[in-house]
Amino acid sequence: MKVRRWLNLALGLIVLVSLVACGNSPSKAKETAASAKELATKKRVKKATIEAYVPKGKNTDYLQKAMELYNQKYHTKLKLTPVDVAPAIPMVQKVTPKLVANEKMPDLIFLQDSNAGSLFDKFEDRFYSAEDFGFVKKYGKNFYSAKMNMLENIASSKKIYGFPNDWGNAAMFYNEAAFKEADVDMIHIKTWDELIEAGKKLKEKTGKKLLFMRDTGELDLVKYLTDQQGISLFDKGGNLNLLDPAVEKSYKIIQKLQKEDLVSYGNSKDYSIIGQDCGIMLAGGWLASYQAVDHPADEGKWRIRAIPVVDSVNNFAPMSGGSSYYVPKNSDHALAALQFITFALTDKDALDVYMELSGLPANMAAYTSIIAQKEFSYYGKQKILLTLNEISQNSIEGYVFPYSADLDNYIEAASYDIKNKGVPIKEALKKQAEDFSSKYGVKVNK
């Protein structure tokens, strides 16, 4: 019996490996390209129910409202069946078994760009290409170049599969009322050195700390500061930049903040709660859709602007997330999904709907709309959509690979060793770079 069980297990593993191997088949990649081009010439689907894996909330609401507009414009009868799935790791965990077993897929999935590489490393041939469907040629120029660059580098073939939804760059949310109490005009704060001085005054006059950091080891600020200097943690070839001087410089700024006792520490899930009582929060524009709801008593006190520069040579907006839609091949209504999502991401009325829901389209054409001029009372009647669009146009161009997301764990470990064990910055980074390189076989740039 034991022998039989081991034989069954071995056969199962062989089948699994065969299925995954098929995902890298060059012949199937050609079929995908041809079929996507063929679908682009077919007539509009008049009636279908599109199953979409998309998180509950503004993104589901957006698709529902966009579908109403779509049906009105094209006299179709499409329906949406949303399945609530978070767009990062939970989405990867949800669809990977289906892809391995070649099971029926949803017609549309919503996936964070930073996690898409782990799927496309093995299953590129299981999705329709936005590039082959003609979306990129017709509309690509309207989207942030950094967003399109990201999508271009997710699949090993360098072909664009994602239909670009949103693009996030870190901005500085700051409590203007608190800084005014400390006699600081944040408009005049241009550099991180000046921000640290402003933070010292803030703490002295109001008792507030400047910002939040993870007690398990800082991660986000390391990446933001490095991005600001024009250095992505991976280069275009997938090599690691963790030992670049820009990373060390980022840690030196963090040490200044810690030395001046300007930091409130806590668990990453509580950062917005803790951050609300600090002077600033660094986050993507998506934070605006939650802040007013979660902390209504602070209406009128907060503002949004670009993060102060590290130096005067480089001044890039750091990446802070972004998601795209993908259309699997093995689904019931792929053509209807391709046609619908093209409309949703390019029609001005549909884009207005997304911005009304506090979404931040990656389509720059959206920001020419009257809706983009909307004043937000929570931010002192600031036109934050225009502000965030301006920040995003200055975005650094970064890259994602199947192993990108795991680097966060190594950065956190280096941060913890530097702060809590007194390990020198270079030594801590060298150890984590070597460990990461050993695990993934990635070259480390020096």
Collapsing DSSP to helix, strand or coil, 418 comes out as helix
The answer to whether residues 435 and 340 belong to one domain is: no
Tell me what pLDDT residue 35 has.
82
The answer to whether residues 342 and 193 belong to one domain is: no
The answer to whether residues 206 and 267 belong to one domain is: yes
For residue 182, pLDDT beyond 90: yes
- Rounded CA separation 194/204 (Å): 16
Does residue 195 fall inside a structural domain?
yes
The answer to whether residues 218 and 146 belong to one domain is: no
The domain spanning residue 133 has which CATH number? 3.40.190.10
Whole-model pTM? Answer: 0.86
The answer to whether residues 420 and 331 belong to one domain is: no
Number of structural domains (the chain) is 2
At 329, is the pLDDT very low, low, confident or very high (cuts 50, 70, 90)? Answer: very high
Long-range contacts of the stretch 371-376 (C-beta < 8 A, 24+): 376/288, 376/292
Give the residue numbers spanning the domain of 342: 45-169+321-384
Residues 6+ apart with CB under 8 A from 353: 62, 65, 66, 69
Q: Cα 376 to the chain's mean position, in Å?
A: 24
Tell me what pLDDT residue 11 has.
35
Average pLDDT, the chain: 91
Does residue 60 fall inside a structural domain?
yes
For residue 283, pLDDT beyond 80: yes
At 245, is the pLDDT very low, low, confident or very high (cuts 50, 70, 90)? Answer: very high
In one-letter notation, the amino acid at residue 31 is E
The answer to whether residues 365 and 424 belong to one domain is: no
Does residue 38 fall inside a structural domain?
no
- Rounded CA separation 280/260 (Å): 16
Q: Which residue has the tokens 């795991």?
A: 406
For residue 6, pLDDT beyond 60: no
Least confident residue range of 11-25, 118-132, 171-185, 392-406: 11-25
Tell me what pLDDT residue 24 has.
41
Average pLDDT over every residue of 81-104: 96
Each residue's pLDDT tens digit, 248-271: 999 999 999 999 999 999 998 899
The answer to whether 364 and 389 have CB atoms below 8 angstroms apart is yes
The answer to whether residues 340 and 209 belong to one domain is: no
Tell me what pLDDT residue 276 has.
97
Q: What is the dihedral of CA 139, 142, 143, 149, to 10 degrees?
A: 70
Does residue 3 fall inside a structural domain?
no
The answer to whether 266 and 272 have CB atoms below 8 angstroms apart is no
